[in-house]
Amino acid sequence: MIRFPALIAFAACLIGGCTAEEDMDPGATAETFSLTESLRIGDEAVVDTVYFDYINDIEVDARGNILVTDDASPGFRIFSSDGTLTHEIGSEGEAPGEFQDTPLLTVGAKDSVFVFDVDNGRLTVYSPGDYQLTRMVNLATKLPDHVDAADVLAILPEGLIAQFDHYPDEDTADEKGWLTEIMFLDHSGDVLRDSIVLIPSMEVTLISDEIVENFPFTRQWGRESFIISSSDGLIHAGWNETIQVRIASLNGVVGEFVIPHSPIPITLGEKNEEVSRWPKEWQVQLRRDVPDTKPAFNAMVLDDEDRLWMQLNWPADSTKAEWLVVESSTGDVVAKTSLPVTATIMKIRQGKAYGVVDDGQDVVTVWEISSSPSHGG
């Protein structure tokens, strides 16, 4: 377990930045990956029979089945590799097989499906193939107030790697009390090890008006943490002020890397457009906290070759976002690719990227990944 002084160093290094060699182009020898769209699910433009609201999560099993949760459905839906809807699992409620909020998904090593309901901290397990409910687990029920289970990151033979969010007490709320903690649980949901990782979760702006006081609102272009776990239990944590990632096992920090990055400024037009979307009485408070530059990256996905795919932020006039493909053990940028800024990759498996394209409506999209050598980066 990482003890508290190490955790402070872990967080401080991620937030403040640690020294690193930055005199080389990190992508000088990188390949160029091409992502070719091969499937869409839920596209009104082609009169699809399935539609999505806001898509929360996408998972893929070993047979290529695509599992999706979104705000339009209380459970999760399963599509074959050709996009055919095969199952609709779950309903709204508190009974077994019911969910209070849009759940999050994790597929286990043998294609068992683990479905996490954030609202009640309950994990429901379904058998592979026939998707029969096999058991339910309440996660870490003995935690202090203001610490809630937020996600299950990995299913290991020995237990579960789970994410927990710390929320400040309402009476003492400030903008720095929001933390994310990674714990290791047994399969009954009891904590075996806490504080494997403990870092800030996000930046907030505290809103006060005639109705609310110190209401925490996600800061416009605020920094946040991204944490994912591989199937062998390695945890990758990045705070997106810079492109810096630390890797921890269940027993401590095992590595880190920093990739050189030139911050992208936020233009006055972008600031005005974003702030004007919210109530007028909030706008002064929101504008006060907008940073001068954008976060370094917006997404981090681990593929099945243990490479991190990181979506870089983009200038105001860009229609495409660059993605770096990073060897997680060394921090070497081995490939680059780009997608429209409206596209987000959520899962990479067996040579395909699965994600969402939002052109006013969320559409599940699958891309085939191919590569060609880069000529001078």
- Asked if pLDDT for residue 225 goes beyond 50, the answer is yes
- Asked if pLDDT for residue 4 goes beyond 60, the answer is no
Question: What number of other Cβ atoms are within 10 A of residue 52's Cβ?
Answer: 23
What pLDDT, on the 0 to 100 scale, is given for residue 25?
A: 63
Answer whether 285's CB lies under 8 Å from 278's CB: no
Over residues 86-110, the mean pLDDT reads 94
* Residue 154 token pair: 């990995």
What pLDDT, on the 0 to 100 scale, is given for residue 176?
A: 67
What pLDDT, on the 0 to 100 scale, is given for residue 7?
A: 46
Q: Give 84's contacts (C-beta < 8 A, 6+ positions apart).
A: none
Over residues 59-84, the mean pLDDT reads 96
Q: Which residue did the predictor score with more confidence, 320 or 44? A: 320
Give the rounded percent of residues in the chain with a pLDDT score beyond 70. 89
131-187 tens-digit pLDDT: 999 999 999 888 888 899 999 999 999 999 999 999 876 655 566 668 999 999 999
**DSSP-assigned letter for residue 265:** B
CA atoms of 38 and 219, how far apart (whole Å):
36
- Asked if pLDDT for residue 376 goes beyond 60, the answer is no
Over residues 60-86, the mean pLDDT reads 96
- Asked if pLDDT for residue 362 goes beyond 80, the answer is yes
Give the rounded percent of residues in the chain with a pLDDT score beyond 90. 77
CA distance readout (Å), 250 to 7, 230, 299: 13, 12, 24
What pLDDT, on the 0 to 100 scale, is given for residue 167?
A: 86
Task: Specify the 3-state DSSP secondary structure of 79.
Answer: strand
- Asked if pLDDT for residue 16 goes beyond 80, the answer is no
Q: Give 345's contacts (C-beta < 8 A, 6+ positions apart).
A: 299, 301, 309, 311, 323, 339, 353, 354, 355, 367
What pLDDT, on the 0 to 100 scale, is given for residue 377?
A: 40
- Asked if pLDDT for residue 72 goes beyond 60, the answer is yes
* Residue 294 token pair: 């954008």
- Asked if pLDDT for residue 1 goes beyond 90, the answer is no
